[in-house]
């Protein structure tokens, strides 16, 4: 009797589901980025890079988070900064989306498996429009990044005594970091020196908001901006929730930090408004800061925790549980309070399957944050408000920090690495897995109601 041949790696990969391959792709690229960042050529003269620092930086860049354990501008050489920038761009596109773009360029066509992978990652509702969606993602990304690069380069060159070469590199790096909601900065104070500069702050805020809207929304607005009645439920929810959260976040920060001498206190009223709006935008998961986050009031931290946890829109560069998940839960609550039998949003009835998906995503995210927060408090003895802020920032791939990340022990930093990875990849794979596992049953069990509340 002949022994069966062992399964090859190729066969194993073919048997993997799209969501499993997305997870594997992110894992492999993270490992590759970590390896390159550990090379001596990636580190500035006089600096040394440990494995955990390289892993943390690579994960933060690929997951477009922005949390750092070393000074990005001072610790990394030109090669290291380029690697970080490439990882940010890959993370913003999505590893499988980028692979699909390469396949289109090289082969001029897509296999069914490539379509399934890209659709799972890009949250496409079908395969028919996938090619135009992928090409649209590339065009939008490059156009926004190019325009912002030009604006920032000219501003840095003409107003901040930088050479043209230095201004160009700073402009390019921050443009890519902003649109991809990454929050990495080459300045040692992030963007605090530009707190009163409307050109820098508003142009970067615009790119961050666009990235946080998600590519499907941007593409639909580009095609049907004159006919709002034809906008999908998804687009309407994203625009409504984004506007409410941006305005509410701005007012919240302005009210609580108005007299704080370490943040908004020394600024005039227009600079206070600009800084508050800019920081509200950053909670969309960008992670830049124009004021000292560590000096904010603990109450402000708590409010930012909530905004970061919600995050931006799906199928874009933002993180968090997503504004659509938050809006769905909010409308479910309104329907329950009114005693309605169905959840209606903007004239459309919401599918009951979406109810379960939204609740599952929120419960999973909350459990992860609670577990890691508790572990970090046990390891470090730091107060709850600072640790919670850091863990929410990591999970939501925001990058804002109270300043404790670099001082965490290696185990604590490894926990944040895991949280960033799950925060970026987990919601994609988990939500997709929920949708793919949906199946019709041929019977129903008898109903019974437990006591709630």
For 109-134, how does the pLDDT look when each residue is reduced to its tens digit (9 = 90+)?
555 555 555 555 555 545 455 666 67
Average pLDDT over residues 421-425: 85
| C-alpha angle 270-276-281 in degrees, rounded to nearest 5 | 125
Contacts 24+ apart (CB under 8 A), 33-41: 33/58, 33/61, 33/62, 33/83, 33/87, 34/58, 34/59, 36/79, 36/83, 37/76, 37/80, 37/83, 37/84, 39/79, 41/77, 41/79
Cα-atom radius of gyration of the chain, to the nearest Å? Answer: 22
Q: Given this model, what pLDDT does residue 336 score?
A: 85
Residue 59: how many other CB atoms lie within 10 Å? 27
Q: Given this model, what pLDDT does residue 117 score?
A: 53
Map out the domains of the chain as residue ranges: 16-435
- Name 345's bridge partners: 348
For residue 257, the surrounding DSSP H or E stretch is helix 233-257
Q: Given this model, what pLDDT does residue 27 score?
A: 86
The answer, yes or no, to whether residue 32 has pLDDT greater than 80, is yes
Instruction: Please tell me what DSSP assigns to residue 76.
Output: B
Q: Given this model, what pLDDT does residue 215 score?
A: 78
| 226 pLDDT tier (thresholds 50, 70, 90) | confident
The percentage of the chain sitting over the pLDDT mark of 70, rounded to a whole number, equals 83
Task: Compute the distance between CA of residue 27 and CA of residue 96 in angstroms, rounded to an integer.
Answer: 12
Task: Compute the distance between CA of residue 370 and CA of residue 376 in angstroms, rounded to an integer.
Answer: 10
350-368 pLDDT tens trace:
888 788 888 888 988 999 9
pTM (two decimals)? 0.87
Burial class (CB in 10 A: 0-12, 13-18, 19+), 352: exposed
The SS3 assignment for 344 reads strand
DSSP state string for 182-206: ----SSTTTTGGGTT-HHHHHHHHH
The gap between the terminal CA atoms of the chain, to the nearest Å, is 64
Q: Given this model, what pLDDT does residue 110 score?
A: 53
Residue 266 exposure: Cα atoms within 13 Å on the Cβ side: 7
- C-alpha distances (whole Å) from 251 to each of 279, 294, 309, 452 are 11, 19, 18, 35
| C-alpha angle 57-287-31 in degrees, rounded to nearest 5 | 20
Q: Given this model, what pLDDT does residue 452 score?
A: 73
């Amino acid at each position: 009797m002949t022994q069966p041949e062992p399964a090859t790696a190729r066969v194993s990969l073919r048997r993997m589901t799209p969501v499993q391959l997305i997870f594997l792709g992110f894992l492999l690229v993270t490992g590759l980025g970590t390896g390159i960042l550990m090379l001596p050529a990636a580190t500035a003269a006089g600096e040394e890079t440990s494995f955990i620092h390289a892993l943390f930086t690579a994960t933060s860049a690929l997951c477009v988070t922005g949390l750092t354990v070393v000074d990005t501008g001072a610790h990394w050489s030109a090669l290291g900064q380029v690697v970080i920038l490439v990882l940010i761009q890959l993370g913003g596109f999505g590893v499988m989306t980028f692979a699909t773009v390469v396949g289109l360029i090289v082969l001029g066509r897509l296999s069914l498996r490539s379509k399934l992978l890209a659709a799972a990652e890009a949250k496409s509702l079908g395969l028919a429009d996938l090619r135009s969606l992928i090409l649209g993602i590339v065009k939008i990304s490059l156009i926004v990044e190019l325009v912002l690069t030009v604006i920032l380069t000219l501003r840095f060159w003409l107003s901040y005594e930088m050479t043209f070469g230095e201004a160009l590199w700073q402009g390019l790096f921050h443009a890519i970091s902003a649109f991809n909601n990454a929050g990495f900065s080459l300045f040692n104070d992030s963007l605090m020196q530009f707190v009163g500069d409307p050109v820098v702050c508003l142009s970067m805020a615009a790119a961050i908001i666009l990235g946080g809207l998600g590519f499907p929304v941007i593409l639909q607005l580009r095609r049907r901006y004159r006919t709002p009645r034809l906008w999908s439920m998804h687009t309407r929810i994203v625009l409504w929730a984004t506007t409410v959260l941006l305005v509410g976040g701005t007012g919240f920060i302005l009210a609580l930090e108005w007299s704080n001498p370490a943040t908004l206190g020394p600024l005039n009223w227009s600079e206070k408004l600009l800084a508050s709006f800019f920081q509200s935008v950053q909670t969309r998961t960008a992670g830049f800061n124009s004021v000292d986050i560590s000096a904010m009031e603990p109450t402000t931290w708590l409010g930012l925790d909530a905004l970061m946890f919600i995050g931006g829109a799906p199928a874009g560069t933002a993180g968090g549980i997503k504004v659509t998940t938050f809006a769905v839960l909010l409308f479910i609550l309104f329907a329950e309070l009114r005693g309605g039998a169905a959840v209606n949003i903007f004239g459309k009835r919401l599918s009951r399957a979406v109810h379960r998906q939204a609740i599952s995503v929120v419960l999973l995210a909350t459990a992860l944050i609670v577990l890691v927060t508790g572990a970090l408090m046990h390891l470090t003895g730091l107060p709850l408000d600072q640790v919670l802020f850091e863990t929410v920032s990591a999970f939501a791939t925001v990058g804002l920090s109270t300043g404790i990340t670099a001082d965490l022990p290696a185990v604590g930093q490894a926990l944040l690495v895991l949280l960033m990875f799950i925060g970026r990849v987990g919601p994609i794979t988990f939500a997709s897995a929920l949708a793919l596992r949906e199946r019709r049953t041929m019977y129903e069990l008898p109903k019974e109601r437990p006591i709630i509340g």
